[in-house]
Amino acid sequence: MEKVVVMSKQSQSSLMDDLRPIMPPLIRLLAGIIVLVVIQATVLGFPGITALIPTTTFTIAALVIFTLGLVVSAIVLKFGTQLATSLGDAYKSYRSYTPLIAWLFQMIALVILYNVSKPITASYFATIQWAYPLIFLLIAIGPTIKVVMNTVNALEGKNTSKHLLTN
């Protein structure tokens, strides 16, 4: 009976030891998002929050959502990429997926920014509605090309010879 208890304690501590490297960025990411969602829910319950800001076409609520969304986007970008890096450092089998996971968090941050800035910028892009999504697509191309190039280079291997074409 004692062997069973000792073995179960070792397997539990081993599981926690395996997760220990990724816990700090994961906790920072989740705690930051949860705190900001609670703040947003509280602030949006204030009376008069849906009033228009004088001389503008957007509300105080839209400005609050934009500001908090900007902070959430920064948190997802910072701690999401930290989580991807620590995941690759802790688990060698996931090291090749680190750029892909970091790219995923970059795209999530960009989508958050796209959605929270839409009410603020709607009046500026009223006549050219296609320009707003195009701007974000152009921003997303950079990290996408980078992760595709890194993935292709990783799949080809570092020891492949490069051929020079000379005439």
Structure token digits, residue 31: 């705690």
- Can you give the residue range of the structural domain that contains 68? 21-156
pLDDT tens, 79-102? 999 999 888 888 888 788 888 999
Into how many domains does the chain fold? 1
Distances, alpha carbon 44 to alpha carbons 50, 53, 112, 153, in Å:
8, 15, 18, 47
Q: Is residue 165 part of a domain?
A: no
Q: Kindly state whether residue 2 falls inside one of the protein's structural domains.
A: no
Segment 115-166, tens digit of pLDDT: 999 988 888 888 998 999 999 999 999 999 999 988 888 778 765 555 555 6
Q: Is residue 13 part of a domain?
A: no
pTM to 2 decimals? Answer: 0.77
The reply to whether 66 falls in a domain is yes
Element (H, E) at 125: none
